[in-house]
């Protein structure tokens, strides 16, 4: 009894001291993590808080101090400053206003690691971003509504119940783009408070249904979906399809609503609380393999799959066995990529078998089949092209062998693979476009684009990010584009032939990778022109040879695409085999190099 009283007194003292003191936290434990939450009124933030606390409780050297900004940006800034006064070792923040909080996060990041959650701040001054893939969520919702309407053979208008926040906008854009593609009519209603009662009150008007033939409702959270169902029941419109979002377990959550038939389906939107603590511990322990950005997996849930349990991987004794289908490619990037993965497998004590393909889809598919037959624990795949993977991924899934995509992705549905680990290709292209816009001023820009391998994710997404960056600028025009397959010789041939035909009549060249850019430089110089003066070149990767050309001014801007994926991949494989659920997308840290880049960043490059 005395022991219990003493323990109680000790805990109370610590709590009081945390509340009362405004200087260094009394360090009962080794690491103190500060958490700044935007509010604790929204349900998913309460779930986030619970997950953070439950996961932190598993570590006996972690103390959490959680602050609630109650939806007030000024208060959130004060909260962060106070947490810093406590002497926290790492900050986890879910910002209210990303613009207002960006400088605060940047300042904290100059002193301690920062994990940003849910809404990313401007720039890259943070250790790690964890959030939902809002575009994917919007697409999943739309595809589920379409599937249900088709199953029930109903046609008509789809009503969207929205709430006022950034995530809602991104999800809604993706939702409506799928609906527009399928030529369905949509309407949307902004619900002032994203609650059941507010949704029910706002849907009480029968006339809008009759007038617009509404046959399905997508609500941006399960509570509004519940309110919609109550309103529909009062109106005798039980046949209208209702799909929600979030899919929380427990009483009153979306999963219970599905089981009781209140809503037809939902899409899970994990908060990332568990991942935040796990990555925070890895950061504080100086572990390798911590990425720059992770997007969490969201899953479509209905009455048919609600009880499907994910089978954890069982490792039959000994080492984890990994089969890796890698692209054979004579490039500095690919060599660094392969070396990094082989080296990390050794460091993580993983048994790795690598099969190389001369960039043929059929050959890679056969290699994956061989790994399935060998019953490896995990398959790593660097798919040369995006399309054509559905069948063999289904075979891997049937064999309960997870597939992690490395450095390139596939067009198969997101439930056909476990995770993608690699660069943010669209961002890489956008960074090059932004540099060009900053360089060109008010003048006109005639642009040439050297495209990577046709049908590969880096080529399609780099092009998308680059072209979208100047979409609204009438002075920019892509006057010529050609495939050069990420290859230096082809880059040189394309430029030589173009110059022979037209002279060098472009102002900027965007090459999807360094090899093609280096080939272009050789052709430009062979034709007697000066790269960096007569034409400015932007590329992606950040290889040593390209960075040398940046320093000489021959290439003007290189957006990094880090090939050193080994540690991140092997940490993901290890986490997976320890029963953790992996994020859907794991992005490595990447920077941009120009002549103005701090010289220190050019030093010690590993590829």
Helix (H) or strand (E) holding 494: helix 488-502
Instruction: Please work out the total of residues on this chain that contact ligand GYE, with binding judged by CB under 6 A.
Output: 14
* Ranges within 515-534 binding ligand GYE (CB under 6 A): 515
Is the Cβ of residue 264 or residue 541 nearer to ligand GYE in the bound state?
541
Helix (H, G, I), strand (E, B) or coil at 472: coil
- 3-state secondary structure string across 147-164: HHHHHCCCCCEEEEEECC
Nearest to 391 by CA among 374, 366, 358, 408: 366
Is the Cβ of residue 420 or residue 486 nearer to ligand GYE in the bound state?
486
Considering only 195, 331, 418, 460, the residue that binds ligand GYE (CB under 6 A) is 331
* Ranges within 459-488 binding ligand GYE (CB under 6 A): 486
d(CA 297, CA 136): 9
**Nearest-approach distance from CB 485 to ligand GYE, in angstroms:** 8
Q: Which stretch binds ligand GYE (CB under 6 A): 34-42, 331-339, 373-381, 412-420?
A: 331-339
Considering only 186, 513, 559, 585, the residue that binds ligand GYE (CB under 6 A) is 513
Mark 552-589 as b/e (b = at least 16 C-beta within 10 Å). Answer: eebbbbbbbbbbbbbbbbbbbbbbbbeeebbbbbbbbb
431 belongs to the binding site for ligand GYE (CB under 6 A): no
Q: Establish how many alpha carbons lie within 13 A of residue 603's alpha carbon, considering only the half-sphere containing its beta carbon.
A: 3
Is the Cβ of residue 278 or residue 335 nearer to ligand GYE in the bound state?
335
407 belongs to the binding site for ligand GYE (CB under 6 A): yes
List, as one string, the DSSP characters of 41-99. Answer: SSHHHHHHHHHHHHHHTT-TTEEEEEEE-TT-HHHHHHHHHHHHHHT-SEEEE--SSHH
Is the Cβ of residue 278 or residue 328 nearer to ligand GYE in the bound state?
328
Is the Cβ of residue 329 or residue 377 nearer to ligand GYE in the bound state?
329
Inter-residue contact 93 to 115 (CB < 8 Å) = yes
Q: Which stretch binds ligand GYE (CB under 6 A): 194-202, 247-255, 310-318, 329-337?
A: 329-337
Dmax (CA) of the chain? 92
Helix (H, G, I), strand (E, B) or coil at 372: helix
Considering only 59, 175, 209, 333, the residue that binds ligand GYE (CB under 6 A) is 333
Q: Which stretch binds ligand GYE (CB under 6 A): 138-146, 176-184, 325-333, 463-471?
A: 325-333
**Nearest-approach distance from CB 81 to ligand GYE, in angstroms:** 40
Considering only 51, 139, 329, 414, the residue that binds ligand GYE (CB under 6 A) is 329
393 belongs to the binding site for ligand GYE (CB under 6 A): no
540 belongs to the binding site for ligand GYE (CB under 6 A): yes
**Nearest-approach distance from CB 487 to ligand GYE, in angstroms:** 8
Give, rounded to a whole angstrom, the gap between the first and last alpha carbons of the chain: 63
Give the position of tokens 């003007």: 556
Is the Cβ of residue 225 or residue 546 nearer to ligand GYE in the bound state?
546
Considering only 291, 458, 542, 567, the residue that binds ligand GYE (CB under 6 A) is 458
Inter-residue contact 517 to 509 (CB < 8 Å) = yes
**Nearest-approach distance from CB 170 to ligand GYE, in angstroms:** 25
Q: Establish how many alpha carbons lie within 13 A of residue 373's alpha carbon, considering only the half-sphere containing its beta carbon.
A: 6
Helix (H, G, I), strand (E, B) or coil at 393: helix
Beta bridge partners of 131: 295
Is the Cβ of residue 254 or residue 491 nearer to ligand GYE in the bound state?
491
**Nearest-approach distance from CB 409 to ligand GYE, in angstroms:** 10
301 belongs to the binding site for ligand GYE (CB under 6 A): no
Nearest to 327 by CA among 360, 304, 353, 295: 360
State phi, psi for 67 to the nearest 5 degrees: -115, 150
324 belongs to the binding site for ligand GYE (CB under 6 A): no
d(CA 562, CA 543): 9
Is the Cβ of residue 423 or residue 491 nearer to ligand GYE in the bound state?
423
Look at phi and psi of residue 112 and say left if phi exceeds 0, alpha if psi is from -120 to 50, else beta. beta
**Nearest-approach distance from CB 429 to ligand GYE, in angstroms:** 11
- 3-state secondary structure string across 89-125: CEEEECCCCHHHHHHHHHHHHCCCCEEEECCCCCCCC
Is the Cβ of residue 196 or residue 408 nearer to ligand GYE in the bound state?
408
* Ranges within 559-578 binding ligand GYE (CB under 6 A): 561
Inter-residue contact 76 to 69 (CB < 8 Å) = yes
**Nearest-approach distance from CB 201 to ligand GYE, in angstroms:** 51
Is the Cβ of residue 378 or residue 385 nearer to ligand GYE in the bound state?
385
**Nearest-approach distance from CB 468 to ligand GYE, in angstroms:** 19
d(CA 480, CA 509): 10
**Nearest-approach distance from CB 363 to ligand GYE, in angstroms:** 17
**Nearest-approach distance from CB 69 to ligand GYE, in angstroms:** 39
Give the position of tokens 């072209």: 467
Site track for ligand GYE across 486-505, x = CB under 6 A: x-------------------
Q: Which stretch binds ligand GYE (CB under 6 A): 16-24, 62-70, 89-97, 330-338?
A: 330-338
Helix (H) or strand (E) holding 1: none
408 belongs to the binding site for ligand GYE (CB under 6 A): yes
541 belongs to the binding site for ligand GYE (CB under 6 A): yes
Q: Establish how many alpha carbons lie within 13 A of residue 10's alpha carbon, considering only the half-sphere containing its beta carbon.
A: 8
- In the complex, which residues of this chain contact ligand GYE (CB under 6 A)? 329, 331, 333-334, 407-408, 423, 458, 486, 513, 515, 540-541, 561
């Amino acid at each position: 009894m005395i022991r219990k009283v003493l323990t109680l007194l000790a805990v109370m003292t610590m709590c009081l001291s945390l509340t009362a003191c405004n200087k260094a936290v009394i360090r009962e434990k080794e690491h103190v993590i500060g958490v700044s939450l935007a509010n604790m009124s929204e349900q998913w933030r309460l779930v986030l808080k619970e997950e953070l606390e439950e996961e932190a409780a598993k570590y006996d050297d972690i103390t959490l101090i959680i602050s609630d900004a109650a939806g007030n940006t000024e208060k959130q800034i004060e909260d962060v400053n106070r947490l810093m006064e406590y002497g926290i070792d790492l900050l986890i923040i879910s910002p209210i206003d990303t613009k207002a909080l960006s400088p605060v996060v940047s300042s904290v990041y100059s002193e301690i690691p920062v994990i940003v959650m849910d809404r990313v701040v401007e720039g890259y001054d943070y250790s790690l971003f964890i959030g939902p893939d809002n575009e994917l969520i919007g697409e999943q919702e739309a595809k589920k509504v379409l599937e249900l309407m088709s199953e029930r053979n109903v046609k008509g208008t789809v009503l969207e119940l929205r709430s006022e926040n950034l995530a809602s906008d991104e999800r809604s854009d993706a939702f409506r783009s799928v609906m527009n593609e399928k030529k369905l009519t949509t309407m949307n209603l902004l619900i002032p408070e994203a609650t059941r009662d507010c949704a029910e009150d706002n849907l009480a008007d029968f006339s809008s249904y009759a007038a617009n033939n509404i046959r399905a409702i997508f609500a941006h959270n399960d509570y509004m979906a519940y309110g919609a169902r109550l309103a529909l029941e009062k109106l005798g419109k039980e046949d209208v399809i209702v799909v929600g979002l979030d899919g929380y377990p427990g009483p009153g959550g979306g999963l219970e609503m599905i089981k009781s038939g209140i809503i037809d389906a939902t899409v899970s939107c994990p908060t990332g609380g568990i991942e935040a603590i796990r990555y925070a511990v890895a950061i504080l322990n100086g572990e390798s393999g911590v990425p720059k950005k992770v997007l969490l997996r969201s899953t479509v849930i209905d009455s048919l799959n609600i009880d499907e349990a994910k089978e954890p991987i069982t490792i039959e004794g000994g080492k984890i066995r990994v089969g890796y289908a890698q692209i054979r490619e004579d490039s500095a990037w690919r060599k660094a990529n392969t070396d990094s993965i082989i080296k990390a497998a050794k460091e993580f004590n993983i048994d790795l078998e690598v099969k190389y393909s001369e960039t043929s889809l059929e050959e890679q598919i056969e290699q994956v089949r061989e790994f399935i037959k060998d019953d490896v624990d995990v398959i790593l795949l660097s798919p040369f092209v995006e399309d054509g993977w559905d069948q063999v991924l289904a075979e891997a899934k049937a064999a309960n062998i997870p597939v992690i995509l490395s450095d390139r992705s596939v067009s198969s549905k997101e439930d056909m693979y476990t995770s993608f680990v690699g660069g943010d290709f669209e961002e890489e292209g956008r960074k090059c476009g932004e540099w060009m816009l900053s360089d060109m001023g008010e003048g006109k820009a005639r642009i040439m684009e050297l495209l990577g391998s046709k049908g590969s994710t880096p080529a399609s997404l780099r092009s998308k990010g680059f072209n979208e960056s100047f979409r609204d600028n009438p002075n920019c025009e892509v006057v010529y584009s050609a495939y050069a397959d990420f290859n230096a010789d082809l880059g040189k041939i394309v430029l030589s032939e173009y110059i022979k035909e037209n002279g060098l009549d472009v102002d900027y060249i965007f090459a999807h990778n360094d090899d093609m850019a280096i080939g272009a430089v050789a052709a430009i110089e062979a034709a007697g022109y000066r790269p960096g003066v007569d034409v400015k070149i932007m590329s992606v990767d950040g290889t040593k040879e390209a960075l040398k050309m940046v320093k000489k001014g021959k290439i003007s801007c290189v957006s990094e695409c880090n090939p050193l994926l080994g540690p991140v991949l092997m940490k993901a494989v290890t986490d997976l085999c320890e029963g953790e659920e992996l994020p859907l997308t794991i992005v490595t840290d990447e920077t941009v190099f120009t002549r103005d880049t701090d010289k220190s960043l050019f030093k010690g490059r590993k590829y």
